[in-house]
Amino acid sequence: MIEYVLELDDVTRVHGSGDTAVHALRGISLGVLPGEFVAVMGPSGSGKSTLLNVAGGLDVPSGGSVRVEGTDLGSLSRADLAALRRRSVGYVFQDFNLIPALTASENVALPRELDGVRLRDARRDAEAALAEVGLDDVGDRFPDELSGGQQQRVAIARALVGPRRLVLADEPTGALDSRTGEMVLRLLRARCDAGASGVLVTHEARHAAWANRVVFLRDGAMVDETGVATPVEALLR
């Protein structure tokens, strides 16, 4: 049996009701395997961010089910859902969302501390996660002492600290210049190649192309996906 890290099954999300109902998601089914990096492309208003919020348990679907590492989010109590999010799901946002009063290392350790892990272990996990994104030397610095690219790498380290295996990224390169943005995508790709699972929401084709698979959303529905990649030889004519 295929073990999806994230599995959306016929997910719908409706805001409001009756004539004024807005169908943000219409029957989305999507499975993300370990090591897979999936990009979701679509214009604004197509449901990309709603999809990511539903996948991470920040929003509740109106129909269908969302499973993270096999657990149906709909079956969980509020407290259990929060615990699963802390343990399994990391978010990366356009504006980094680091806590300014905490050092890089403390930011990365926070989800572990909140999960009740001993401080020393949380710090050790944070250092390992920072080393994996190539930032072993800036753990003691505060976010405003880091460049935008470094802050986003800290955010990726936080997203994948400890046992977390699923990173959900919402336009993570939006605030960065093109070279730094590319570095962030290379890093996300590398973390997925190392076994994590990633979902990237973007409207930029050049960024989506770092993913193994690209799915297209229009008006809340999946209209197409790239599926298996074409061989290189077909391109270089």
Partner 1 sequence: MYGYQLRAEFEASTGSTWPLNVGQVYTTLARLERDGLVEPVGVSDDDEGRVTYRITDAGRAEVEQWFATPVARQGRPRDELAIKLAMALTTPGVDAHRVIQTQRTGTLRSLQELTRLKAGADEKSDTAWLLVLESMIFQAEAEVRWLDHCEVRLGAYAAPAVPSPAPSSPREVIR
Binding residues for partner 1, per CB under 8 A?
41, 43, 186, 189, 204-206, 208-212, 214, 216, 223-226, 229-232, 235-236
Residue (22 or 60) nearer to partner 1, CB: 22
How far apart, in whole angstroms, are the C-alpha atoms of residue 50 and residue 122? 31
Q: Please state the closest distance from residue 202 (CB atom) to partner 1, in A.
A: 12
Residues 6+ apart with CB under 8 A from 110: 99, 102, 158
In this complex, which beta carbon is closest to partner 1, that of residue 167 or of residue 187?
Answer: 187
Provide the H-helix boundaries in 115-210.
119-132, 148-159, 178-193, 205-208
For partner 1, which is the closer residue by CB, 70 or 231?
Answer: 231
Smallest gap, in angstroms, from Cβ of residue 226 to partner 1?
A: 5
**Three-class SS state of 110:** helix
Answer yes or no: are the C-beta atoms of 201 and 49 closer than 8 Å: yes
Which tokens go with 51?
């999809």
Closest CB to partner 1 among residues 160, 222: 222
DSSP H or E run through 41: strand 37-41
User: Residue 226: exposed, middle, or buried by beta-carbon count in 10 A (0-12, 13-18, 19+)?
Assistant: middle
Closest distance to partner 1 from the beta carbon of 171 (Å): 16
| CB 80, min distance to partner 1, A | 37
**Residue 189 class from Cβ within 10 Å (0-12 exposed, 13-18 middle, 19+ buried)?**
middle
CB of 186: closest distance to partner 1 in angstroms?
A: 7
Given the complex with partner 1, which of 60 and 223 has the nearer CB atom?
223
Cβ 50 to partner 1 shortest distance, Å: 20
User: Among residues 29 and 178, whose Cβ is nearest to partner 1?
Assistant: 178
